[in-house]
Amino acid sequence: MRSLFRATTSLTFGLLFVGALAGCGGATTPNGGSAPAPSPTVAVDRQAAGLMCAPVGDCGIGDIGPGGGVVFYDAGSTQPWGRYMEAAPAGWNGGSEDPNVEWCTDGTGTRKEHPFDIGSGATNTQIELNQCPSGAGALAAGYRGGGKSDWFLASKDELNELYEQRETVGGFGNHGYWSSSQDDLRFACSQFFPSGNQGENNKWAKLGVRPIRVF
């Protein structure tokens, strides 16, 4: 029987999750490196209030973004990739829980330019799609919330920011979620949402997917 993980640190809900390994374990740097710290969660429940932000303008964490998702990250100023990130809302896939799928349906992939930092998820996902036309990346990229076609699978550091705002965004399961960052040919980076631990999983493991986009 194939081993699902390269190394293990805990047994949770029947899944072994990897701890701090070579590339995938732990945040690369606070807030993804050079990007400024994100805005703190605002006191008022902006999402419940139906507050929306325009494609250009000031947005607050918890606002409804242009794609109908929930804003979970603000870089503080415009970066080469944009400034804000929004995540698809709970129930985005038509079900009560986020879908759990393989990172790549054939369990492989060429490790090529799959960085971990904030602002790299969209490029990572496109590379993943070139290797794996079905799987986690394809599911995220196929979402069309708000009529937008630029949704993607978060990089490792983007996924960590999403984890930090998981209660604001809502609807996450008590299991691991895929990122678009690869560690090598067989393993991709993931994050266990109950604890926040980052690690890596075999690409044929089934983990959660939540699309994000930037603007």
Q: List the chain pLDDT tens, one digit each, 215 residues.
A: 333 334 333 333 334 344 433 478 876 644 444 444 444 444 345 556 666 786 556 899 999 999 999 999 999 999 999 999 999 999 999 999 999 999 987 656 556 557 899 999 999 999 999 888 899 999 999 999 999 999 999 999 999 999 999 999 999 999 999 999 998 888 999 999 999 999 999 999 999 999 999 99
**116 inside domain:** yes
CB-based burial of residue 182 (10 Å sphere; 0-12 exposed, 13-18 middle, 19+ buried)? buried
Determine contact, residues 188/179, Cβ cutoff 8 Å: yes
**42 inside domain:** no
**169 inside domain:** yes
How confident is the model at residue 132, as a pLDDT? 86
**88 inside domain:** yes
The H or E element spanning position 86 is strand 82-87
**175 inside domain:** yes
**39 inside domain:** no
**158 inside domain:** yes
3-state secondary structure of 84: strand
Domain interval for residue 104:
10-26+63-214
Predicted TM-score of the model (pTM): 0.80
Determine contact, residues 202/107, Cβ cutoff 8 Å: yes
Domain count, the chain: 1
**152 inside domain:** yes
